[in-house]
Amino acid sequence: MNGMIEKVKKMEGKAAGYWTKRILAQLNYSLQLNKALDQKYDECLSQVIDYLYENLESEGTITATCAKEAEALLMPLADDAKKFKMICVAHAHIDMNWMWRWDETVAVTLDTFRTMLDLMNEYPEFTFSQSQASVYRIVEEHDPCMLEEIKKRIKEGRWEVTASTWVEADKNMSGGESLARHILYTKRTLSKMLDLDPDSLKLDYEPDTFGHSVNVPEILSRGGVKYYYHCRGYDGYNLYKWKAPSRKSVIVYREPLWYLGAIEPSMAYYVPEFCTRHNIQAMLKVYGVGDHGGGPTRRDIERIIDMSSWPVFPEIKFGTYREFFEMVEQIEDQLPIVTGELNFVFTGCYTSQSRIKKGNSMLQRRLYEAEAFASAAAISVGKPYPHHQFAKAWEKVLFNQFHDILPGSGTVDTREYAMGLYQQAAGLANTEASKALRAIAANIDTSMWITDESNEESVSEGAGAGFGLEKYQIPQAERGSGRNRIFHVFNPSLYPRNEVIEITVWDWEGSKENMQFLDYEGRPVPFQLLSDKNTHYWGHQYFKVLIAASVPAMGYTTYVLTEKNARIRELPFPLDPRVERPSNLVLENKHLKVVLHPQTGTIVSMIDKSNGLEMVDPGRPAGVFRFIEEDDSRGMTSWVVGNYRKVSIINDSGVKYTEVNNSEGLLRQSIRYTAGFGNSSSLKVHVFLDRDSTRLGYEVECEFRELGERGKGIPQLGFYMPVGYDCRAYRYDVPSGTIERSSMDIDVPAVSWAAAIPKDSGRKALMLICDSKHGFRGVNNSLSLSLIRGSFDPDPHPEVGIHQFTFHISLPNVTSNREMIEEGCNCCYPLRVISAKPSKGEFLPCGSFMDLQEGGIVIQSVKVPEDNRDTDSLIIRGYETEGRRTQVSMLFSRSIAKAYCVDINEKPVETELPVKIEDNHVYFGVEPYKVFTFKVEFAREFRKA
């Protein structure tokens, strides 16, 4: 056998002309076929090879006549050769804005599709497959006539739509609800646009995606997607069933040959072994020029037609992914099972182009809030639900989750377009959230605060227009006037929250010395004035105050700023200092005691006061900012985190304290410091601890001036938090769940948090939560977070400028994933405040629209159904968190007529367990790790909050 192979290789080195290449290709295929058939044709092959080799030796070449005679000698293999098949699927991999602008993506798409349609006109047997709803949206908007041509080819079965996601998206940093919306909006949009059955869109095509999160099979299964195609993230089987922790699975084809390329005879050599190993009769060949579009060429098509006529070759045919996967489905029970995440690929992409990541994180959350508040307004006051506006916003967010955009491996043009889309999506989300909250507020009864105070000289109404939106807040425009100001605080979570919140007060003419906050029952509420002086803002002035707020689940409460009755104040004695006291850099409440180092600002002690245990390692500085120089020798600096060449502790150079406000009794104790690093970069750090909170917060503003350069390395700003105990593992939040990973000295992805899980089950864990970063590292009993990386290709200067981000260090109970997830949500989904005028209304000053009362689940979406244009039903989606069956009880503010399970596409699922209803309660069971969706239809009579 080896001798035959060597002779064929020598002949290939001198091959010239069509017939020589044809016979040698058939010989190579025959050798692999013979191997798969236990050397069945050794004698025949030896004879043919010797014949050709002798001809080459004597003639100096293999003549066409000799090749034809050799092909005739191979005919005994023909029947076995044709038992195997290669299905050739044409595809054009079109990267969304990878190295170019949006207008170029439009041109690439239209030019590629024009080529495909022209080739279809010439070659009746040619078929083509294309993924991504985004490209069909391009055709719809820019060339409607072309769309009609495509629809015609789809009806003929020659153009296969392989899109079940808006783009070929990142699967690690996109939230679980985003992954669900990819399916929902893609199936809805394409079924209408292309006259397709949405159930026909069964393939998630992800050839270039940089890793695949553990719950992807669960989410896909709940959306009617059965098949998965990928290249990266796994190097085991080529055909397998990928099973989620929920036990739901998808059939997966991991491309063995890569997803780009031309049609070559060598592709057939793999067929016998592949088919024999998997007990199927066909192998898939994906072909076509890609990345910048292009698709198959005329040469590819001609070669397929030609090779299909070769007698001793597999059956070569044009085909579709559907054809291949349906064939694989017949042997589904024979496929090996793979569990767990399919990671890691390109770990630099968890941090690079950090502004894009912040935009994605913020907009996913703001859309959740806007939809939840709009849903509450719909079921409580009948406000029309803005389906179209939300779909437009989601489309922009989903587009930016493309696997070269969200990961930050694009150019300056890529980044600028993405940031523009985020601004548009934010405009939609903010507007709809604000309208929903104000619709509810207009129905809250605050008539007890109506006074006859004249407001003719008021300047406050309308103050603060647009204020706070740079931090992705709800618009903060003032609507009240006079000395009595009404503030409604809204909770986007389906559980009650008690937190310190910040309120902005505009143009208030009262006395700060006599100010007070009252709750809706007239009881004084603790508050803390953040500044004695007013700040001027576009013709108005404001001050900020903290209050201790308590808000019911998915509901609201009301607070009033007013003045106490004036009284004669005692004449104060001068407060001249008489005693010098030591510096005190301690932040402490009933849960935590944190001590900072007087010179460096690092954490020297963090005591969990529930058990008196130290949480940090006294031998290693904790809570430190690090300036890291990464080695760039591997290139691809946006994609790859280089080895740490040098690590400097920024805090060790000394910090300058600008504020220490840690007196006992404050709602928020805080310490502020500044520090410099690198090439005149700087940090402004605000460390704070709120009353009754289990979280130590860090608000950071960084002016990053570092530039990466080839040969000199990649600058990185990181945060490092070693822990004072031995870790069993590290737990991270991932789309629609959590995962535990072992200690690894590489960056790994999380949606928003990582926790160092102790070996000692009696300890709490130390948890690091961030509002906009994804690159965590759990190793050697420590957690670290990559904050900013100065990668330099393909975007040469992606990070220069001002960055703002917030992260928290928390101490959750590790026995409850739900508690940990909710702790992360409390950091990332703040309570929202709006001002209002006192008015009569039907709602009590404090109320709840829905409440998760029982169950080990987390809710990730509350919305009005896509097909319901009334306001009498809701879609609720969430997931089980603890890995065991749980019973769920939810309370709503209205009586329920009907409730039942649906899938991600909001279609009823008959096989699911029933949802029980009782007045305004629903009860249902959820299986371990399941992503569930159910629909609630309310009785027509409103039940006010």
H/E stretch holding 862? strand 857-863
pLDDT bin (cut points 50, 70, 90) of residue 570 is very low
Tell me how far apart the alpha carbons of residues 85 and 83 are, in angstroms, rounded to a whole number.
7
Pairing of strands 613-614, 695-704: unpaired
Within 543-590, where are the H helices? none
Q: What pLDDT is stored for residue 581 in this prediction?
A: 52
H/E stretch holding 276? helix 271-278
CATH of the domain at 477: 2.60.40.1180
Are 293 and 381 part of one and the same domain? no
What average pLDDT score do residues 75-104 get?
A: 97
Question: pLDDT at residue 576 above 80?
Answer: no
Residue 471 token pair: 């931090």
Residue 437 resides in a domain? yes
What average pLDDT score do residues 483-498 get?
A: 97
Q: Give first-to-last CA distance, the chain, whole Å.
A: 81
Residue 613 resides in a domain? yes
What average pLDDT score do residues 183-212 get?
A: 98
Length of the chain: 945
CATH of the domain at 214: 3.20.110.10
Check whether the bond before 198 is cis (ω within 30° of 0). Answer: no
Q: Which of 76, 100, 126 corresponds to the end of one domain?
A: 76
Q: What pLDDT is stored for residue 870 in this prediction?
A: 66
Tell me how far apart the alpha carbons of residues 424 and 403 are, in angstroms, rounded to a whole number.
21
CATH of the domain at 425: 1.20.1270.50
Q: Considering only CA atoms, which of 241, 173, 165, 235 is closest in space to residue 204? A: 165
Question: pLDDT at residue 287 above 70?
Answer: yes
Q: Which of 20, 42, 76 corresponds to the end of one domain?
A: 76
CATH of the domain at 793: 2.70.98.30
Are 291 and 274 part of one and the same domain? yes
Q: Say whether 174 sits in a helix, a strand or coil.
A: coil
pLDDT bin (cut points 50, 70, 90) of residue 481 is confident
Are 144 and 180 part of one and the same domain? yes
Are 117 and 192 part of one and the same domain? yes
Phi, psi dihedral angles at 867 (to 5 degrees): -95, 0
Check whether the bond before 794 is cis (ω within 30° of 0). Answer: yes
What's the domain count of the chain? 6
pLDDT: which is higher, 668 or 472: 668
pLDDT bin (cut points 50, 70, 90) of residue 571 is very low
- Concatenating the DSSP letter of every residue in 54-122 gives HHHHHHSS--HHHHHHHHHHTGGGHHHHTTSEEEEEEB--B-SSSSS-HHHHHHHHHHHHHHHHHHHHH
| Region of residue 120 (phi > 0: left; psi between -120 and 50: alpha; otherwise: beta) | alpha
pLDDT bin (cut points 50, 70, 90) of residue 103 is very high
Tell me how far apart the alpha carbons of residues 533 and 10 are, in angstroms, rounded to a whole number.
88
Q: What pLDDT is stored for residue 569 in this prediction?
A: 46
Q: What percent of the chain stands above pLDDT 70?
A: 97
Q: What pLDDT is stored for residue 739 in this prediction?
A: 99
Residue 582 resides in a domain? no
pLDDT bin (cut points 50, 70, 90) of residue 574 is low
Are 794 and 893 part of one and the same domain? no
| Region of residue 133 (phi > 0: left; psi between -120 and 50: alpha; otherwise: beta) | alpha
User: What burial class does residue 556 get, using C-beta atoms within 10 Å of its C-beta: 0-12 exposed, 13-18 middle, 19+ buried?
Assistant: buried
CB atoms under 10 Å from CB of 685, counted, come to 21
Phi, psi dihedral angles at 667 (to 5 degrees): -70, -35
Q: Which residues, at least 6 apart from 489, have a Cβ–Cβ distance to it below 8 Å? A: 501, 549, 551, 556, 557, 558, 559, 831, 832, 833
Q: What pLDDT is stored for residue 461 in this prediction?
A: 86
Tens digits of residue pLDDT in 135-163: 999 999 999 999 999 999 999 999 999 99
Question: pLDDT at residue 943 above 70?
Answer: no
Q: Which of 324, 345, 366 corresponds to the end of one domain?
A: 345
Q: Which residues, at least 6 apart from 848, have a Cβ–Cβ distance to it below 8 Å? A: 552, 553, 554, 555, 891, 893, 945
- Concatenating the DSSP letter of every residue in 405-444 gives TTTT-S-HHHHHHHHHHHHHHHHHHHHHHHHHHHHHHTTB
Task: Name the DSSP letter for residue 514.
Answer: G
Tell me how far apart the alpha carbons of residues 389 and 405 are, in angstroms, rounded to a whole number.
23
Residue 350 resides in a domain? no
Tens digits of residue pLDDT in 577-604: 554 455 689 999 999 999 999 999 999 9
Task: Name the DSSP letter for residue 473.
Answer: P
Mean pLDDT, rounded, of the chain? 95
Q: Considering only CA atoms, which of 205, 265, 222 is closest in space to residue 8? A: 265
pLDDT bin (cut points 50, 70, 90) of residue 13 is confident
Are 557 and 651 part of one and the same domain? no
Q: Considering only CA atoms, which of 176, 172, 164 is closest in space to residue 223? A: 164
Cβ–Cβ < 8 Å for 128, 120:
yes
Residue 639 resides in a domain? yes
Tens digits of residue pLDDT in 316-371: 999 999 999 999 999 999 999 999 999 999 999 999 999 999 999 999 999 999 99
Beta-bridge partner residues of 843: 444
CB atoms under 10 Å from CB of 79, counted, come to 10
CATH of the domain at 910: 2.60.40
Half-sphere exposure of 712 (CA within 13 A, CB side): 8
Are 468 and 419 part of one and the same domain? no
Q: What pLDDT is stored for residue 914 in this prediction?
A: 84
Tell me how far apart the alpha carbons of residues 435 and 234 are, in angstroms, rounded to a whole number.
46
Q: What pLDDT is stored for residue 568 in this prediction?
A: 44
Cβ–Cβ < 8 Å for 731, 796:
no
Residue 814 resides in a domain? yes
Within 806-936, where are the H helices? 817-828
Are 47 and 101 part of one and the same domain? no
Residue 481 resides in a domain? yes
Are 45 and 136 part of one and the same domain? no
Residue 837 resides in a domain? no
Are 165 and 295 part of one and the same domain? yes
Residues spanned by the domain of 481: 463-563
Least confident piece of the model among 113-127, 217-231, 454-468: 454-468
Are 125 and 29 part of one and the same domain? no
Distances (CA, A) of 909 to 223, 905, 906: 11, 10, 9
* Placement of tokens 């200067």 in the chain: 797
Cβ–Cβ < 8 Å for 354, 408:
yes
Task: Name the DSSP letter for residue 918.
Answer: E
Are 789 and 902 part of one and the same domain? no
What pTM was computed for the model? 0.96
